[in-house]
Structure 1
Amino acid sequence: MFLKNLEVFGFKSFADRTRIEFSAGITALLGPNGCGKSNVVDAVKWVLGEQAAKTMRAEKMEDVIFNGTESRKPLNVAEVSLTISNDEGLLPIDTSEITIKRRLYRSGEGEYWINNQQCKLRDVRELFWDTGVGKAAYSVMEQGKIDQILSSKPEDRRYLFEEAAGITRFKVKRAEAERKLERTEDNMRQIELTLTEVKRSYDSLKIQADKTITHRKLKDDIFNYELDIQLLRLKGFIQDRHNRESDIEKAREGRSRVQAQMDEVNAAMSEHMDEVNEMESRLVKIQQKIYGLAIEERSKNEQCRLLEQSKHEAKEKINQLEVKKKGVEEKIEILTDDADEQEGSLHNLNKRLEEIAKNICSFEENITVAGSRITENDRRSVEIEKEISVLDVKRSELQKQLEAITENIVTQLDIKLKEAGYSVQGAKNAQDRVENLVAQLKVLASGRRKLFSDFAAADSPSKADISRFGSAAVSAFSEIEKLLENLEQAVKAYVSVTPSFIEEFLSPEGIITQKRSIDLHIQRNTESVNEKREHIVSLKSQNLDLALKMEEYRVTLENLRINQAQMKTQIQSAEDQLRLLHRELSGQEAVLHDLQNELFTETKRFDDIDTHIADMREEIAGIQSEGVLLTKQLENLEKTIDSRNTDVAGKREVLTRLTSDIGKFQQQLEKASLDLATAETEIRNIQENFRDTYSRDLMEFEERMLTVNVPAAQLREQLTLTRQALRDLGSVNYLAPEEFAETKKRFDFLTVQIADLQKAKDDLKRITEEIRAESTELFLATYNKIKKNFHNMFRRLFGGGRAELRLVDPQNVLLSGIDIFAQPPGKKLENIALLSGGEKTMTAVSLLFATYMVRPSPFCLLDEIDAALDEANVLRFVQTLREFGNVSQYIVITHNKKTVAGAGTLLGVTMEESGVSKLITIKLENDSEGNIILPEPEPFEEEDVEPEQNVYIPPHPPKRRKTAAGTPVPETEDGSEKPSDVQTD
């Protein structure tokens, strides 16, 4: 046994909590029409997940909740629980019993439970996949479903074979995989579009970033080359300063030694040499001044040369900065134009988005207006229905009045006839007498007319003829007079037997006129009802048109919303692009600002150097002028000294020699001092120039100075090449590397996503193909088995003939429809749509049992599918049903006695209380002779069932059955049972 019990509360007509225990084999569900039998089937379908309100015979799903009766209030919840035995482990839950419960509140909220654990509708449906059980499987067969199986559309029959083949799960998974595949392809298209845009930025920024990195490297190389060159120069001048300081020390020592010797000579010549000494002293001072001026001039010239070099470098740098500034300004202009164009595009997109939003509002208003019109039409239809009800009540009253007045007419007529002594025979005799007398008068008048005509035609009648004519005339008038007297008496007799009250009936105030007036009111009432019903039909037609328009509006509205979402995506992309442009523009403006500042600084430095050079040249001119004057003074003084020292020639030679020696030492000292001053000036100039150029102290790199070993010429050559490469590089985007890093990160992320989506797409395609192949194999195997079983079962149920299943499209098995061809005995093979109702039912039953031979459903509900079968076919159906009763559990709703006779358990449905369904169970047993024994009914738990309840008890000849009260069922004269106390349908 698979289906154990069903518990219903608040579902349709089951107001009280009702528990239905099901037995193995065949169970018949009985009861009069309208008692709620089909509600049991609806409850099973509903708890298994039925979502269509029309399938539940309701307008909306909330209608399945008990709506109350005259004596009961409505309930706010409907609940159905279905307990299933899972001893064989058919369902994928490791428990011996599974309880499915569904609950619906009047607010519209619904809940599903599996073994008292709340779940989703999908969980319930997945539980019964490929078992034949479900709201749309072949475990529930109704008359309407017979038509669905035998529909003219072959595609509508596929569900039966798919469920039997066990591919419903695969079909759902394949559909889900195809939906995922479609979503994946949509995502790939969107990401590819985004990746295309990012790729353009990626390529552009990559070139710019590489160029910027190269620019930065070249700048660093230039700095390092210039640093090394300056360090080498500084190193050389420091070494030279050290050497000059050593030379000065040596020269001073030699001069001191020679000076001591000269002091000895001068001491000897002191008395003669005071004046010479004075002049010598002056000579030395002048020479020292001359030497100092020479050293200062050389230093000034060197400084001037260095300043000229710095001026030239500053000029080159200013030119470079102006070129860079021009390039940045051009790029800023281009970016500004792009930003303006992008803002215009963004404005247009926002405008289009506003238009779409307005259209959405317009269509929503149209839908609201159409819905209001539908509601108004429904309200008007309800009002017209109420008016029709009022007219029906009035017509009913008029019908009652008509019946009353008709009865009154008959009564009054009977009374009047009795009062008048009216006799049909007397009236007939009186009428016959009047008619005879009238006929005699006609004959007599006709004969006399001919006689008078003949007499009038005579030319000259004789007296005898005239006398004879006069006598005949007198005799004729005497007969006429006698006949008229008799006619008068006959008329009086006829009048005496004719009712005089007919005029009263036919008068304007008479009862017949009243009846005609009521008939006219009834006719007008009926015409008004027909007009109102036509108006209702017109309103419903309008509602149908409005519903179609609303559906069109909704489709258009959905498309507009999709366009709105796409437009928002485009706007977001445009805004992102605009932000990138603004960010790049800001970066370029910052670069321009830095260039302007740097250009201003270099220009100011160039002007300062130029001023310094002019001042230096003026100083050099002054030094040269003073040197010329001192040289003339020295020459004059030397001549005077020579003339004054002629008298001391002997000592003069020594003194000359010593003077020459001291002069040499003095020259060495002067030269070393000049070189020292030049070296110190060079060192100071190098440090100042480096500090002015790079705003850094050159002595920070003192350690590096000791390690530089590349020749200066090679460094200058590399510096020249690097500067040329930098000039060839042109303008660069200084923010490009950072922007490229951000774009590269996004590009790599999108690339990985594309690869992941492609892999997912390939996996989904592979899974879909595998599912399709496996589903095709399972479907074909099941289809071939059902096809063979269907032919055999058809021959068995029809007693011959043949049946065939054909795939409409054998090349496309998973989508192909299935045609059914049937040939009952004695007929030609034809499509199922051409068969009679009974033949269709038997064909559908054959297909159902053929399916059960392949994959039997654990239980099956059959709702009056035997209604169109004749007695012989019912016997075949019941016999086959009994055979399959050992395989599946059957619950049959039927009114056929022979079908009921084949059941092992009876479920009786009754309405003891109006509008509230209740059930009783009757289990059937066989006696020693094989006949069915009816035990006392088993009451349900909620309350006892009275024995007089209106329960349908089927007959089972030859033994007489008993009613629910235990009394024998009475029989009619022909031996059949008389349904006196037993309600039948």
Structure 2
Amino acid sequence: MFLKKIELSGFKSFADKTVISFENGVTGIVGPNGCGKSNLTDAIRWVLGEQSGKSLRTGSSMSDIVFSGSESRKPVGIARVTLVFDNEQKIFDSPFEEIEITREIKRSSGESSFYLNKTPCRLKDIADLVMDTGLGRDSLSIISQGNISSFADARPEERRLLFEEAAGVAKYKKRKKTSLAKLENVHANLERVQDHIDHLNEQLETLREQAQKARQYKTWKEELSGIEIALLARQISACEESLKKCTARLEQNQLDESSAKVRLNQQEDQLEQLRKQIFELDQQLSMDQNTYTKTLEESYALQRRKVEQDEKRKYAIDHADDATRIASLKEMLTEAEFEMKDRSSRLSEMRDRLTQTDAQIRQLEHAMHQAQMDLSSNQNHLNSLQSRKMVLENRLAAPYAHQQGVQAVLKARASLQGIEGAIGDLLRSDVEYAAMLSAALGGASEQIATRDDRCARLAIEFLKRSRAGRATFLPLSVCKNRSLFPDQQIIADHAEGILGRAVDFVSCDQKYGILASHLLGNILVADHLKNATEAAKTLKYKVKIVTLDGDVVHAGGSMSGGSRKSSNNAAMLKRDLEEVKTSIEKGTKKIQEITSSISDLSSKNNRLSENRIQLRIDYEKLENIYRLKKEKVDDLQAQLSSLNAYANTGSSVIEEDSLVAQISEIHARLDDLNSMIQVSRTSRSELASQADSLEGEIRQLRRTLSSLSSEIHSDELEKARTETRMEQALMRLNTDYSLTFEAASEYTCELAEKEANSRVKKLRSQIASLGDVNLSAPAQYDEVSAQSEFFESQKEELEAASSKLLDAIDEMDQSMIVQFTEMFNKINAQLDGIFKAMFGGGRASLSMTDPENILETGIDIDVQPPGKTVKNIQTFSGGEKALIAISVLFAILKARTMPLCIFDEAEAALDQANVERFARYISRFKDQSQFIVVTHRPGTMAQCDTLYGVTMQKDGVSRVLKVLLKDAAKMSQSNSQSS
């Protein structure tokens, strides 16, 4: 016994779990048409790996084998079939004595799962297990009526497959197929290896020349480097010496400036003190003059009184005409009052002029103080602008000095391949768009464009080898034209403030148009940030937008902006430099204007001060005259009153003497006051002279300070330039040669400066004459040589593998030829006897269509039934063909024992006599093979040892039960009647 049992669940019409146990001998499966008995054969084929839905009589999908339901039964979700085999005789190559193979499929996914002894496995594992056991998917162990017809009607080449299965050469064919695939792979690898070898040999020829050029370049470059390092060391030493002198001169000028500022402050304070003293003297003079005037008035009053006394006495003596005197006095009084009023009006005007002059002086002093502060502030700002100008000029001369890697590549571009330049230099714009372009490019402006990715890799290797820093490269070969999507372009065209795409504002060489499009083709430009944010919102933040001021709304919604950081973009640097130069011109002009204004203000102040002093003196004189006129008016009024009163009394001699004494005292006081006034005026004149002298010294100090400031600025510029030259030299040492100044100082050059520069020029010309130099050529040559040797060894190994595989294939071919020939002869030897038994005589034989090509020959069957001539199988009737095919199958079974044979209505086309012969012949083999026969022919049933009946009720579900022979006959009769 080989197949012990089969378990079905959900498979086709077997909706319920069904278990069929098999015994030794012949087991028959009977039942009426449509009951599902052939589904048992399909189940066995399915478990053993059948993948064809047509062979399993299903629909287009394998999941159709799952029970789909009926009017009274619901469909099930999974189909599962298990075969249990007895492996005591080790038919299967497995240590287990019982083999259980299960396959299941789910309706939902349509995917099959396989299990071997309940362990998940692959279809391939099942196929390998049953290979050469006679149970393969295309084996002769499962024979149906369709197989019989197919075998009889098959072409000789197709019929050969059955004989190959019988010969057991499937494993050889599989191994041969694998070996041929390996051989094909080996040949493909050989072609690839040979292509590599050919390509490497071409490279070696090129690299040999490049390596020679690289060695010459290295020799000249080392000499050039030695001279340049020595010259740089000399330059740095000279710069250090110059810096020492410049620093000492700068420090001295700064000390002189500080000392001059101290002196200026002191003299300005001293001038302020002098002006204060002059003001106090002016006040004292005014007081003294007032006192002098009052004393003079007292003198005049006493003299008038004395005159009155004299006149009274004279009046009394002379008895003059009073009427005439009165008239005369009135006329004199009128004239005196007119003069007094005139002096009063002039005094008022002079007071206004004094007040106005004082206000003007205060305004001038405030303006001078403010102008001095403006001068200092503008001078500091101008110094800052000069420093900024020098920095920008240096940066414009070396825009990528802070990017060591970028600067190193750009300096070495003559010796590198395909270096186009920094992107910020390749893409240009007008000055007004410089900020926009800088913002649009961002960090890409400092990237280096290369011809292709190979040139970028070579440049990176150069940076690594020379330890010159890092840089980012963009190969032109990877650049693509970029633009907005059509819907985005439509929105941009109608958005307020959108000026266009950034690429439209850029100019560049034609070859860099793809670079501009790659970086700027999908970036929009807006006039200002508000419109940029509105447009970005409309575009759902999927497009980057930059403004003319350099603000950015990034794709995604983030924004960047604010004051601009200094850029390395040449246009931006030039723009900043022009702005700084313009500011310097304006600042210089402003300082000149302020200096001129201070000089004018100082002159005006001096004139106003002098005018004020003169006005004060004139005012005091006029004030004295006014008092005299007023006293005269008062005196005339008194005389007139006295005359009108006919005063006729005289002064006593005592009163007259007293008046004379008082007048003498007042005259003495007047003399003292006049002396004091003269002394004050002399002192004021001296102080004014000192103030004028100080003002001259202050002007000279200011000129000195201005000169010192210019010298200091000049020294600072020279120092900065020297420091820049020294830093550039140090940077060259570090960037180009990875050396410090101390290390460079050890390099010596016997040549003088002029000769050294001449040699440098010649070496550079020689190096330039070499053209592009592949510095890595020697190493590449060694590397390619090693690769060539490696591929040669690979070629030898592959050729050896190919020879070995060909030998193995030849060996397998010989084994298949031997086994196939032996099996063919065995089957052919058995066929004639079986044919005679099945046909009651006659003869039959097999023949090869191409005996010279055993591996591919077809199989023909030549048959001579009793009493007839020899014919090919194709010329017989259907029943005869079936009997001939069955004869061949029995011949195969006799030549090679099969552990299990399944006949699914294979004898359906035979008549009753031949069915009985067929059944009897099966019985002859039941001791060596297990037979399962699906049939409805009584003759076949009669030879079965065990019978199972398959029935189907109205629910559309197949059921299995053991039956007796008589019941099987009834089923067969029922089947015949239904037919």
Please, what TM-score do these two structures have when normalized by structure 1?
Answer: 0.45
